[in-house]
Structure 1
Amino acid sequence: MHAILSLGATHYDLTIPSNSHYNAMAISHRGKALKYLSLALADIDSCSAASLDGILATCYALVFQAYYMNDGAIDFAVMVRGCSLITTHIQRRFKGSKMFLLQNSEEVMQLIEPWLSKDMHPNQDDVNLCIRDIEQLHPFIHDGSTLCFFESLLNTYLAFQHSIQDAFRCLGDVYKVWHSMENQNFMNLITSTNIISRALFLHYFAIDTLMRPFLLHVRGHKHPSLSVGAIVMEQWADAAYYGLPGNIQRLVKHEVDLVRREKANIPLILRDGS
Structure 2
Amino acid sequence: MIPIEGIIGYSFQQCQETRPFPCANCVGRNMTCEYPSKEQPHSRSRRQEKEPSPTSLATTSTLESDPLSSSMALGPLSSTFPNTFTTDDMRFFHHFLVFAHPHLPFGSEESWKTLLPVHAHECPHLMHAILSLGATHLSSITPDGAKYNALASAYRGKALRGLSKALDNGDKCNKVELDMLLATSYTLIFQARYMADGLVDFAVMIRGCEILTWRILNKYRESDIFKLLSPEDTYTYVAPQIPLAPYSDPSALEVSINTLGHIRPLLRDNSHRITYQALLGSYKGMQLSIRHGFVAFTAIYDSWRVMDHEEFMAFLDPTNNVSQALLLHYIVLTMMLRPVFNQLSPPRVLRFPKETAAEHQWGCDIYKRLPSEMRLLVDWQAQFIALDKALIENSQSSAVQG
Place the TM-score, normalised by the shorter chain, in its bin: over 0.9
Give the 5 Å matches for 1:117-136.
117-136=243-262
User: How much does 1:268 deviate?
Assistant: 5.5
Partner residue in 1 for 2:360: 234
Identity over aligned residues, as a percent? 34
Poorly superposed stretches of 4+, deviation over 3 Å: 218-223, 267-272
**CA shift for structure 1 position 267:** 5.3
> Counterpart in 2 of 1:116?
242
Report if the CA contact (8 A) 1:230-1:259 is conserved: no
Deviates more, 1:16-25 or 1:84-93: 16-25
Cα offset, 1:49, TM superposition: 1.9
> TM-score of the superposition, structure 1-length normalised?
0.92
Query: Which residue pairs with 1:193 in the alignment?
Result: 319
Return the match for 2:175 from 33, 49, 66.
Answer: 49
Q: Establish whether residue 60 from structure 1 lines up as the match of residue 210 from structure 2.
A: no
Structure 2 counterpart of 1:262, one-letter code: D
With 235-244 and 19-28 compared, the bigger mean Cα shift is at: 19-28
The equivalent residue for 1:224 is: 351
Equivalent in the alignment of 2:48 = none
Gaps in structure 2 of 5+ consecutive residues: 1-126
Residue number in structure 1 paired with 2:270: 144
Aligned with residue 73 of structure 1, among 199, 205, 229: 199
Q: CA separation in 2, counterparts of 1:106 and 1:31?
A: 34
Q: Secondary structure at the match of 1:176?
A: helix
User: Are 2:395 and 1:254 equivalent residues in the alignment?
Assistant: no
Contact 1:87–1:102, Cα closer than 8 Å, also in 2: no
The separation in 2 between residues aligned to 1:116 and 1:193, in whole angstroms, is: 37
Count of paired positions: 271
| Mean Cα deviation higher: 256-265 or 244-253 | 256-265
What's the secondary structure of 2:165's corresponding residue? helix
Report the counterpart of residue 148 of structure 2 in structure 1: 22
What displacement does 1:129 show?
1.4
Q: Paired residue for 1:82, among 208, 228, 241? A: 208
2:331 maps to which of 191, 194, 205:
205
Instruction: Determine if the alignment matches structure 1 residue 173 to structure 2 residue 295.
Output: no
The residue that corresponds to 2:159 in the other structure is 33
Amino acid at match of 1:209: M
Q: Distance in 1 between matches of 2:346 and 2:248?
A: 20
- Bigger CA drift: 14-23 or 72-81? 14-23
Most deviating of 229-238 and 149-158: 229-238
Structure with the larger helix share: 1
Query: Taking structure 1 as reference, are residues 85 and 219 closer, same or farther at Cα in structure 2, changes over 3 Å only?
Result: closer
Instruction: Give SS of 2:377's match.
Output: helix
The Cα offsets for residues 88-123 of structure 1, whole Å up to 9 and x where unpaired, read as 222223332222225211211222222222122111
User: TM-score, with normalisation over the residues of structure 2?
Assistant: 0.64
- Cα distance change, pair 117–96 in 1 and its aligned pair in 2 (3 A): closer
Superposed CA deviations along residues 171-197 of structure 1, whole A, max 9, x for unmatched, are 011011011111121111111221110
Q: How far off is 1:61 after superposition?
A: 0.5
List alignment gaps of at least 5 residues for structure 1.
Answer: none
The alpha carbon displacement at 1:71 in A equals: 1.0
Q: Distance in 2 between matches of 1:228 and 1:105?
A: 30
* Post-superposition offset of 1:269: 4.8
Amino acid at match of 1:114: P
> SS at 1:228's partner residue?
coil
> What root-mean-square deviation, in Å, do the aligned CA atoms of Structure 1 and Structure 2 show?
1.9
Q: In the alignment, which residue of structure 2 is the partner of 1:13?
A: 139
Q: Which has the larger radius of gyration?
A: 2
Give a deviation string over 1:189-226, Cα, whole Å, max 9, x none: 1112211101110000000000001321344758735x
